A and B are shown apart, each in its own frame.
Chain A
Amino acid sequence: MSEDAGTPPEVDIDIRRVARLARISLSVDELATYEEQLPVILHHAARVQALPTEGIEPTSHPLPLVNVFRSDAVGECLDRDEVLAEAPEVQDHQFVVPRIMDEA
């Protein structure tokens, strides 16, 4: 890999904040590992910033798809009981989660 496209800027990443956004609890050890590794990976990835891309449109997808429609017809769907059988907690044919209304 050539590093000739200029030095990418220093990486500024707050792993705790990102983990909170991603809803992932991390152990102290994991936090330390990622604090070491992620800036190195991001520093490499930041090489993309060195390329002159003015006037170049971003590509989000390899196919030039806009909207794909289908007719709004009733079809087969997944079996409710088969789906609920895989849920961690079920009550009255519904998924159960910890109560959310009292959360700050």
Chain B
Amino acid sequence: MSDFADLTIRQAGEGLRAGEFSATELLEAVHKRATMTEAELHAYLTIDRNGAARMAVAAESAFRRGEDAGPLQGIPVALKDNMVTRGVETTAGSKILAGWIPPYDATVVSRLQAAGAVVVGKTNLDEFAMGSSTENSAYGPTRNPWNPDTVPGGSSGGSAATVAAGSALGSLGSDTGGSIRQPAAFCGVVGVKPTYGLVSRYGLIAFASSLDQIGPFARTVDDAAVLLEAIAGHDPMDSTSYSGEVPDLRSGLGAGVQGLRVGLIAEMMGGEGYDPGVVAATRQIVAGLESAGATVAEVSMPSVDYALSAYYLIAPAECSANLARFDGVRYGLRVTGSTTEEMMANTRGEGFGPEVKRRILLGTYALSAGYYDAYYAQAQRVRTMVIGDFERAYEEVDVLIAPTTPTTAFRLGEKASDPLAMYLSDICTIPSNLSGHPAMSVPVGLDESGLPLGVQVLAPALGEPVMFRVAGEIERQASFSHRARLASSVVPR
């Protein structure tokens, strides 16, 4: 392919180092693609042309001086707009933060910059990362590059869509209940939720702090590992960040799966709400792993049937506390009132969208006197049971496999008026957030309507090396082409 916007990070890095094109030319190709796709997709909230141009020139000068900060130097990447960027508007998809210019950079932003990456812009998301379709953005929805009548998933729908469409070579999202893996599956790209704590959350606008984790989107498993390596590691600014050694993420790539023990999560292999095609694709992938030398067993995790219920108490409870900071006092929107309390209530009533209010109300209720034990404390005990199920499973197997989502991408508006139906689309991804374990989605093919199918690889805490190893084998067997059949209305051939 001649268009640089379709290169993988690895290929682009080789081209830059061979002098085939410059970082500025690569950025121009990505900008050209964005100009072509944005009118339909609306994947970006902000494209920072000047900032990106400066970073591209800096990467070029570094190459000329013989300085090489590694595989991301000169690579155009996108950031979900809930990661704060000094001097560049950051909204979290909310009206309450319209026009906010953060006075600092998130740690992941500083790390990408130190690695020489070129930040193209900030991507669209469900408001404060609450949603599964990117329809909850106060700035309008993002559409799926494979079929613009369908959603890209969410909440990191913009970040997934940019990578699928070529308006970035890689991107970062955040995953609280599946917000990286589900859009990755819907958009036919790789998406990784790392082990809780592996990536600093400093400067990530908090939704549910015990569940939130930043991770990469990329077109290949190897590219995803490159991005994760750049952002992983201890950060004193995040007291929950992991302080040990970061495992060598790529140590197992290409090693195959001979001798590995693979478990299929029985509770996620069909039933109400599951597309038979999604389940069949997952079985086919597992059969492929078996023929490549892995041993396969079905594993039962009974508590995962209750994980969704627990999640919709824990996440709203944490969000109701985290979002208390948006009160019209120090930054963002203020709507006047005769008293401070009235000013705050008016500001929040006007500034938050319907889903954010819904979750704050749920969380406030679950934490309120008289209900705390029945709801929040009980959900926390279920969380313990989910962790226990995972730990028992990992005594028997090295990795677990499941669908990423029970269905492929759904149509815009299809679930917008039924919050519970929307929540159910995260049923396969939520358990990993409750347990803090890593999980990733790998694209494996298309369903009968031409929409991407994703399969999820789950691993124990800090099990990223074996997770990437298995994902790499799945990718090799599926030989999924990310670009081949994107909607021609989005990317003309």
Contacts and interface: CB of A to CB of B under 8 A. Distances in A.
Say whether A and B bind each other.
yes
Contacts of A45: 309-310, 312-313, 362, 366, 375, 379
B364 A25 contact: no
A28 interface: no
A63 interface: yes
A37 B358 contact: yes
Interface string A1-33: 110010000000101001111111111001001
Interface stretch (B114-122, B131-139, B148-156, B381-389): B381-389
Given A2-B305, A68-B239, A25 B384 contact: no
Given A22-B361, A25-B345, A48-B310, A1 B305 contact: yes
B272 interface: yes
Given A61-B210, A62-B210, A97-B340, A41 B381 contact: no
B280 interface: no
B350 to A, nearest CB: 8
A55 to B, nearest CB: 9
Contacts of B375: 42, 45-46, 48-49
Interface of B: 100-101, 103-104, 196-197, 210, 236, 239-240, 242, 271-273, 303, 305-306, 308-310, 312-313, 320, 324, 327-334, 336-346, 348-350, 352, 354, 357-358, 360-362, 364-366, 368, 374-375, 377-385, 387, 419-420, 423-424, 427, 434-436
Interface of A: 1-2, 5, 13, 15, 18-27, 30, 33-34, 37-38, 40-42, 44-49, 51, 53, 56-63, 65, 68, 70, 78-79, 82-83, 85-89, 95, 97-100, 103
30 contacts: A1-B273, A18-B361, A22-B360, A22-B361, A24-B348, A25-B342, A30-B357, A33-B354, A41-B312, A44-B309, A48-B310, A48-B378, A49-B375, A51-B303, A56-B384, A58-B380, A62-B435, A63-B196, A63-B240, A78-B103, A86-B101, A87-B331, A88-B329, A88-B332, A95-B330, A97-B340, A100-B340, A103-B339, A103-B340, A103-B341
Given A22-B320, A100-B340, 5 more contacts: A20-B345, A23-B345, A62-B387, A99-B340, A103-B339
